[in-house]
Amino acid sequence: MTEHIESAVAASIVAKYYPDNTPLRTILVTHSQSVARMAMDVARRHPELAADETFLYEAAILHDIGIFRCNAPGICCTGTEPYIRHGILGAELLRAEGLPRHARVAERHTGTGITVEAIRQQGLPLPLRDYSPETIEEQIVCYADKFFSKTHLERERTPQQVLQSLAKFGPESVARMQQWMSLFS
């Protein structure tokens, strides 16, 4: 993997929270670069979406910045928080950095977005709020993220595999993704 983050803002935040050349940093940066590449590709092929490309790129690079605070040994995260909270933890950190717009992308990228109903029904350890992606950039990052796992960094899921991976979140999630696939592909 060659690490090249084309944004000084994003690069400095990654360097601040992932200062050493660790496997975790490689996982974060490789995954985020894949998401950013796909997100930019969507924006360039669909000018009618009028996505803000500079912001989209930075938000894609920073969407998973909170993972280091979580407990997910399979991807080298040695924190204490439940992994499902990585979006809101990243958002907290990005707000503290003065990036509230990027923070929204981070807290709205899990699954196809987490609803109040899902938090209640599944007893998820999240504040009872709606975390659905709303703006076009929030939607594009959430969409692109589903194609790249952090355990198989070199692999891009096929659309079929993406839909299969969302089946556990219910039919609404699969339908939302299908809608994005027809809009963004």
Q: What is the binding site for Fe ion (CB under 5 A)?
A: 64, 145
Please report how close the Cβ of residue 22 comes to Fe ion at its closest, in angstroms: 18
First-to-final CA distance of the chain: 26
The structure tokens listed for 26 are 């490689």
**Which residue's Cβ lies closest to Fe ion?**
145
Q: Which residue, 64 or 81, is less far from Fe ion as judged by CB?
A: 64
Q: Which is nearer to Fe ion, 27 or 50 (by Cβ)?
A: 27
CB of 90 to Fe ion, least distance (A): 10
Distance from CA of residue 109 to its chain's centroid?
Answer: 5
**Dihedral sign computed on CA atoms, order 175, 120, 100, 17:** negative
Dihedral angle computed from the Cα positions of residues 104, 108, 110 and 115, in that order, rounded to the nearest 10 degrees: 150
Number of helical (H) and strand (E) elements in the chain, helices listed first = 9, 2
* Residue with Cβ nearer Fe ion (47 or 103): 103
Cα(29)–Cα(14) distance, rounded to whole angstroms?
Answer: 8
Q: How far is the CB of 145 from Fe ion (least distance, A)?
A: 4
* φ, ψ at 162 (rounded to 5°): -60, -45
Closer Cβ to Fe ion, 49 or 147, answer by number: 147
Residue 134: CB minimum distance to Fe ion, A: 18
Give the residue with the Cβ less far from Fe ion, 58 or 145.
145
CB of 2 to Fe ion, least distance (A): 19
CA–CA separation, 96 and 90 (whole Å): 10
